[in-house]
Amino acid sequence: MSDPDSPASNPLSARPAWEVDFPYDRVEAQHVSRREFAKFLVVVSGGLTAGSGWVAVKDSVLPEAPRVTDVRLCSLSEIPGNGMKAFALPGSGEPAILIRLGDGALRAYEQKCTHLSCAVFYDALSSRIECPCHRGAFDPATGAVLAGPPPRPLRSYPVEVRGDDVWLVADRPEGQKASS
């Protein structure tokens, strides 16, 4: 008979003591074969190809978005002289500002700084559109960058006065007039 305490009959005794106390078995299932890796690459490549194809043909498959119509923003009396009024763009809900300059001219801009999308505001004392995050500044008449890190001007929106109301004018083809 064999001795139960002999190394030949007990495989654990051949291991170092730490392996007996903390067994760690490597399972071959954790390894990825070349064939499995190739299958994964084919699936991912196929998904990327299908996604790229959808982006390429979606304009011909989906109908064009409806054109935005003119929208009444407020009355002239609601905007203080040399002041601003915040509003949300119809359809998207993006924040925007309507500015009444000292000379009475009206300008509308997106309320996101072109640097890191911080909310901008019109400062009547300095006659500038200010970004408080990184001290960016824009010209209220043109939206051009005056100071700071913003890389491009603010996006502007066309507005017009009809009677005592201020209207956000939808983009139109060249030469087409707004309806009154």
- pLDDT digits 0-9 by tens, 1-11: 555 555 555 55
Same domain, 57 and 76: no
Q: For residues 52-76, b (16+ Cβ closer than 10 Å) or e, as one string?
A: eeeeeeeeeeeeeeeeeebeebeee
pTM: 0.59
Phi, psi of 168 (to 5 degrees): -85, 120
Say if 177 falls within a structural domain.
Answer: no
Say if 56 falls within a structural domain.
Answer: yes
Same domain, 49 and 125: no
Task: Return the top range by mean pLDDT from 28-32, 44-48, 76-80, 90-94.
Answer: 44-48
Provide, rounded to the nearest whole percent, the portion of the chain with pLDDT above 70.
Answer: 80
Phi, psi of 140 (to 5 degrees): -70, -20
pLDDT, residue 175, reads 44
> Sheet harboring 165-168: ordered strands across?
71-75, 165-168, 159-162
Average pLDDT score over residue span 92-117: 90
Same domain, 78 and 153: yes
Q: How far is CA 17 from the centre of its chain?
A: 57
More confident residue, 162 or 17: 162
pLDDT, residue 129, reads 94
Residue finishing a domain among 22, 42, 61: 61
Same domain, 57 and 87: no
Say if 4 falls within a structural domain.
Answer: no
Same domain, 21 and 83: no
Q: Specify the CATH number for the domain of residue 101.
A: 2.102.10.10
Same domain, 76 and 130: yes
Same domain, 78 and 160: yes
pLDDT band at 31 (very low <50, low <70, confident <90, very high): confident
Same domain, 49 and 76: no
Q: For 33-51, how does the pLDDT look when each residue is reduced to its tens digit (9 = 90+)?
A: 889 999 999 999 999 999 9
Say if 6 falls within a structural domain.
Answer: no
* Average per-residue pLDDT for the chain: 82
* Domains identified in the chain, total number: 2
Same domain, 51 and 87: no
**Residue 92 is part of which domain span?**
71-168
C-alpha 105/C-alpha 107 separation (Å) is 7
> Sheet harboring 106-110: ordered strands across?
83-88, 95-100, 106-110, 156-157
Say if 176 falls within a structural domain.
Answer: no
Contacts of 12 (CB under 8 A, 6+ apart): 20
Q: For 143-159, how does the pLDDT look when each residue is reduced to its tens digit (9 = 90+)?
A: 999 998 999 999 999 99
* Cβ atoms of 136 and 154 closer than 8 Å: no
- Say yes or no to pLDDT of 87 above 60: yes
pLDDT, residue 146, reads 94
Same domain, 21 and 101: no
Q: How far is CA 51 from the centre of its chain?
A: 20
Say if 33 falls within a structural domain.
Answer: yes
